[in-house]
Amino acid sequence: METTDDFIHLSSNLFIKFIPDQKTLRCSESTVWKLDKFDESVHKWFLTTGGVEGDPNAWCSRFQIWSGGPAGTFIYKLAFCPSVCDSCQGCCMEIGKFSSNLLDLQRLVLSDNGWPFMFVKARGRDLKHVVDV
């Protein structure tokens, strides 16, 4: 998101970048989130890394933060809702979690029922973690 503001406003287009702990994880590709190809085997759109940060035409790397609860609760949801291309109108979906019975892991997917979260103020300027609610 191109801004000089200290705040991220609801429904603003933004890029989300995973910043790995350099001591334990080395990533060879971009850690910017993006919408991956549709997985026919589970009928889901998965999110992955490898997106393009700052490219105004990178519609698959554009996300938004939506209010996820009653006013004043500070509960939010992430959404894939690229308002940067005319053909993307109506493509808005929340981001939820997907668990497979075959694998002991969870992945982020486009969902009708998103995963609510809260921001936790971190020391310094970087967001350290998000709390599952």
pLDDT interval class at 111 (50, 70, 90): very high
Indicate if the pLDDT at residue 129 is higher than 50: no
- Written as one letter, the residue type at 120 is V
CATH code of residue 49: 2.80.10.50
CA nearest neighbour of 8 among 132, 130, 133, 93: 130
16 inside domain: no
pLDDT, greater one: 99 or 7: 99
Q: Provide the number of structural domains found in the chain.
A: 1
Residues listed for the chain: 133
Beta strand pairing call for 93-99 and 130-132: unpaired
Decide if 83 contacts 13 (C-beta within 8 A): yes
Q: Which of 22-26, 69-73, 108-112, 128-132 has the lowest mean pLDDT?
A: 128-132
* CB neighbour class for 8 (10 Å; exposed up to 12, middle 13-18, buried from 19): middle
Domain-located, residue 13:
no
The pTM (predicted TM-score) of the whole model is 0.73
CA 94 to chain centre: 9
Domain hosting 86: range is 33-132
Residue 9 lies in a domain: no
- Is residue 126 scored above 50 in pLDDT? yes
Say if 69 falls within a structural domain. yes
CA distances from 103 to 48, 99, 130 (A): 17, 8, 24
